[in-house]
Chain A
Amino acid sequence: MPDNKEKYAQLQEAIAKHKGERGAVMPVLQEAMNIFGYVPQDVQEMIADGLGTTLSEVYGVSTFYSQFSLEPKGEHVIGVCLGTACYVKGSQKILDKLCEELKIEPGRTTADGKFSLNATRCLGACGLAPVMMIGEEVYGRLTPDQVPAILDKYRA
């Protein structure tokens, strides 16, 4: 895990790489998401300064797209697919079960910072519906009763 100083140095590198490119705000924000996991205000200020644009411009973009988060995410990010194919096959029940198990609403992070829960758009794994992702791992053909055991793997 790079410390904060290193992260800011990485951000400066990313800004330098894209500076002068047309439409650089989005790729730089994407890199900032990869570095920090979210884009707090000071990061947005740094991007605005670095690219020679305004904070309002950067803030406008970062709040428009769902991929950019202004708050830190949990250690494990859970995404439950609420695409149509998953929905008609009962993914809402998977999401409800996760809310019950983690005691949080979708879009929130658990108090211990372990899990963030999101209802996501179609993950494109419709053949495996209903589907959820934890980090990069995909869990398909789910039933609500499988949820606790899957969470246990990450709780340890």
Chain B
Amino acid sequence: MELYRSHVLVCGGTGCSSSGSAKLIERFEEQLQEKGLDKEVKVVRTGCFGLCEAGPVVIVYPEGTFYSRVKVEDVDEIVSEHLLKGRKVQHLVYVDHKTHESSVQKSLNEIGFYKQQHRVALRNCGVIDPENIDEYIAFDGYQALAKALTEMTPEQVIQEVLDSGLRGRGGAGFPTGKKWQFARASKAEHKYFVCNADEGDPGAFMDRSLLEGDPHAIIEAMAIGGYAIGADEGWVYVRAEYPIAVKRLQKAIDQAREYGLLGEHIFGTDFNFDIHIRLGAGAFVCGEETALMASIEGKRGEPRPKPPFPAVKGLFESPTNINNVETLGNIAQIILKGADWFKSIGTPASTGTKVFALGGKINNTGLVEIPMGTPLRTIIEDIGGGIPNGKKFKAVQTGGPSGGCIPASLLDIPVEYDTLTSVGAMMGSGGMIVMDEDNCMVDIARFFLDFTVDESCGKCTPCRVGTRRMLEILQRITEGKGEEGDIEKLQTLAENIKNSALCGLGQTAPNPVLSTIKFFRDEYEAHIREKRCPAHHCQALLSYTITDKCKGCTACARKCPVNCISGEVKKQHVIDQSKCIKCGTCMATCKFGAIIKN
């Protein structure tokens, strides 16, 4: 193996790729060759580092210098200054949003964003080259599979996972070991082990990052799971919208086959296992396990009633176990380090860590992995670095279209399955969207219902018709046509849908509405009774007025698309409220800040 004195790690996750990291890698390689450093310095394209906000991200080891928002033009400077002369490029080094401290004297783990994190599932993301199986193996890769196959019985593997307390990271939080036990107990000639990578929750992208950053960890976990339940075939159902993840996963599967880690007689035992990939085609409901299996079978992805559970009758009518990507990301570590180690992280009822995708109105957007039980406030304020532009925190939404909004008064709750459910939100797959005072909570509820109405498969009436009725009411409220009694109507509909819908999508669809009514009822009432949107967001409820700061420059009147602004030159203008379409053009045009919206 060749030795290098420095490694330049460039993030090749989707976020950083979108902001041009591929061009950075090219430029680094060119420059290093030009300076004759290509035998001393190695450029590695890694998976996601997590801090997408600062992307494209470059880390130089052994120093651990963290460069953020690097442009192609900056590469020459990093090469000639840092890599050639050993002087860090001060002005490109990441600066902490909260403390305004430059991280020039710090290594990665001392930065506020990373300090409180504990990486188990994401341990290799941003550390190794995901397209190189040797790097995974060098980081203890496939050792857990070897241990399971050669030193443990399937029952012992299941017991270890059961003892670890690992619960499903896809949303519902069902104990993984129990699932495996059920599948093991089913007798059949063929069984399947399926990985659910149909990550549809908007704003959550940890599964994609894991597949992009550490695909072998998923393959290894599937093989371990296959051994445990007695399956010989694995399927990964992954969104077609994740081309980088699909490519890397396929490459990883090919490499694993080449090394004999997939295929027949793995590690010289009688265990045979191989994995196929099936691409989704854009249907949120396919994240539901029975719909997912229908989709792999090439059918419309409609869910079916349970029982029979997949562990009894699943894919192609055979017993099937389905786990989410992040859940699988923990398996190899549990087998290697033991259930006791895993249980030492987190809380008794929610062991281990959870990955969250922080997004929305927060300074440090990106992926974070924290021990279960960490207070929500730590995630938002310390790791997330607080709210940008001096705005006030209003709520954080977890669990996507199935979850709820948590208000500021509950920021001190620990993040674990049962606590989140008790406040009307849920763990979900780990999307965490922060909202500030400018976001209207009625509109957010409408946004999520719009999503579920669009994604409802239409098989059962409560979901197909019920969610549409709820959306219509919410639309009316945001348009200023809300009526007394609408809130109660929404609540009744919500309860009925929750109790009668066929699958998880429908049963949880009313949650965003219920939780916003619970914590932000005053906003609903302001819309309905006073025809007022407290966040100044709902267009139909806004009114624009021109104050005496107006200089009479006529700019707004000239820009107004409906000619509803009148007034003499150099005198205060007036908006005709009856004609105004509330487009906001006048306010954006005014140079004197003379137009206000209410």
A contact residues vs B (CB 8 Å cutoff) = 22-27, 29-30, 60-61, 64-68, 82-85, 87-89, 121-129, 131, 138, 140
Contact with A along B196-219 (1 / 0, CB 8 A): 000111111100100000000000
Partner among B15, B204, B299, B434 whose Cβ is within 8 Å of the Cβ of A125: B15
> Which residues of chain A have C-beta atoms less than 8 A from B434's C-beta?
88
Partner among A25, A30, A68, A131 whose Cβ is within 8 Å of the Cβ of B279: A30
Partner among B241, B365, B366 whose Cβ is within 8 Å of the Cβ of A123: B241
Partner among A30, A60, A88 whose Cβ is within 8 Å of the Cβ of B300: A60
* Total contacting residues, chain B, CB less than 8 A: 52
Q: Does B534 contact A (CB under 8 A)?
A: no
> Which residues of chain A have C-beta atoms less than 8 A from B530's C-beta?
none
A110 to chain B, nearest CB (A): 21
Q: Contact between A26 and B295 (Cβ–Cβ < 8 Å)?
A: yes
Instruction: Report the separation of the CA atoms of residues A11 and B476 in the bound assembly, to the nearest whole angstrom.
Output: 47
Best-surrounded residue of A26, A60, A84, A125 (most CB of chain B within 10 A): A84
- Given A30-B240, A30-B281, A65-B283, are A84 and B359 also a contact pair (CB < 8 Å)? yes
Write the chain B residue with the least CB distance to A85: B359
Q: Contact between B203 and A126 (Cβ–Cβ < 8 Å)?
A: yes
Q: Contact between B282 and A67 (Cβ–Cβ < 8 Å)?
A: yes
Q: Does B142 contact A (CB under 8 A)?
A: no
Partner among A30, A61, A127 whose Cβ is within 8 Å of the Cβ of B359: A127
Q: Contact between B365 and A127 (Cβ–Cβ < 8 Å)?
A: yes
Best-surrounded residue of A25, A87, A126 (most CB of chain B within 10 A): A126
Q: Contact between A126 and B18 (Cβ–Cβ < 8 Å)?
A: no
> Which residues of chain B have C-beta atoms less than 8 A from A66's C-beta?
281-283
B contact residues vs A (CB 8 Å cutoff) = 14-15, 18-19, 51-53, 55, 199-205, 208, 240-242, 278-284, 295-302, 316, 357, 359-361, 365-366, 397, 400, 431, 433-435, 439, 444, 447-448, 457
> Which residues of chain A have C-beta atoms less than 8 A from B200's C-beta?
121-122
A43 to chain B, nearest CB (A): 15
> Which residues of chain A have C-beta atoms less than 8 A from B278's C-beta?
23, 26-27
> Which residues of chain A have C-beta atoms less than 8 A from B296's C-beta?
23
> Which residues of chain B have C-beta atoms less than 8 A from A84's C-beta?
202-203, 359-360, 397, 400, 431, 433, 447-448
Q: Contact between B19 and A128 (Cβ–Cβ < 8 Å)?
A: yes
> Which residues of chain A have C-beta atoms less than 8 A from B433's C-beta?
84-85, 88
Q: Contact between B299 and A61 (Cβ–Cβ < 8 Å)?
A: yes
- Given A88-B360, A89-B361, A128-B19, are A122 and B300 also a contact pair (CB < 8 Å)? no
Instruction: Report the separation of the CA atoms of residues A89 and B436 in the bound assembly, to the nearest whole angstrom.
Output: 10
Best-surrounded residue of A22, A85, A87, A124 (most CB of chain B within 10 A): A124
> Which residues of chain B have C-beta atoms less than 8 A from A129's C-beta?
359-360, 365
> Which residues of chain A have C-beta atoms less than 8 A from B52's C-beta?
125-128
Q: Contact between B282 and A65 (Cβ–Cβ < 8 Å)?
A: yes
Q: Contact between A138 and B298 (Cβ–Cβ < 8 Å)?
A: no
> Which residues of chain B have C-beta atoms less than 8 A from A128's C-beta?
15, 18-19, 52, 55
Instruction: Report the separation of the CA atoms of residues A89 and B360 in the bound assembly, to the nearest whole angstrom.
Output: 6
- Given A25-B298, A88-B439, are A127 and B366 also a contact pair (CB < 8 Å)? yes
> Which residues of chain A have C-beta atoms less than 8 A from B397's C-beta?
84
Q: Contact between A22 and B359 (Cβ–Cβ < 8 Å)?
A: no
A-B CB contact pairs (8 Å), 19 listed: A22-B316, A23-B296, A24-B298, A26-B278, A30-B240, A30-B279, A30-B281, A64-B300, A64-B301, A67-B240, A68-B281, A84-B447, A85-B360, A88-B434, A88-B435, A121-B200, A126-B15, A126-B52, A127-B53
> Which residues of chain A have C-beta atoms less than 8 A from B447's C-beta?
84, 87
A32 to chain B, nearest CB (A): 12
